[in-house]
Structure 1
Amino acid sequence: MSKLGFVYIMTNQNRTTLYLGVTNDLCRRIYEHKNHLIKNSFTDKYNLEYCIYFEEYARMDLAIKREKEIKKWNRQKKESLINKVNPKWEIAATEKGFKVASSFSEEIKNIMNQLKTEE
């Protein structure tokens, strides 16, 4: 059975540098980046501690294929990809888990309110 795969983008506090990676455990990988466990790596040198974008794949080979595709893109195209789903460049995932998109939580609130009024 194939493992899940994630393509993700990390950035620094000032949002000036981007790092694109692939992993089978996004939360663990973010923990490694945030705690600078891989010394002298690109993410360590540039303090890339914030995951602002990720995609999940059912198989790791698909995630690797997507990572290779995005890595060929210029910065502007990568920013456009991020902006489509995260225009404020908020943290999308942490070492503790995934963030729920505000639009999704708003949708849930609306559904709950509709259910209450229908009772």
Structure 2
Amino acid sequence: MKLSHVYILKCTDDSYYTGVTSNLSQRLFQHQSGFYMDCYTYNRRPLELVYNCEFTDIQLAIDTEKQIKKWSRVKKEALINEAYDKLPNLAKKKF
């Protein structure tokens, strides 16, 4: 069974990068070494892995990555800090 990973990196400019991969150690090395010059993280190194979740279904991993990318910074930080009980309230819009 091949695992996929959804991960969040904290960049040196204090922003977050969310990605998905089937080889986490290789992908982290690529981010840290600047392997892809046009990648969001290239000019934001060094990076810190702050969240990682494993999936057995690649499509579910991709869908989760897309969902997290749409989240606010506060909601991402709740996920990173394992404050799962706060996630539903952070999804509500304020009118």
Partner of 1:32: 30
| Structure 1 gaps, min length 5 | 86-119
The ranges of structure 1 where at least 4 consecutive aligned residues each deviate by more than 6 angstroms after the TM superposition are none
- Report the Cα offset of residue 46 of structure 1: 1.5
Corresponding residue for 1:62?
60
Q: List alignment gaps of at least 5 residues for structure 2.
A: 84-95
Task: Check if 1:79 corresponds to 2:77.
Answer: yes
| TM-score with structure 2 setting the length | 0.78
Residue identity in the other structure for 1:17: S
Aligned pair count reads 83
* Aligned-residue RMSD, C-alpha: 1.7
Q: Distance in 1 between matches of 2:70 and 2:21?
A: 18
TM-superposed deviation, 1:13: 4.2
Alignment partners' CA distance in 1, 2:71 and 2:38: 25
TM-score, normalised to structure 1, is: 0.64
Q: Which amino acid aligns with 1:72?
A: K
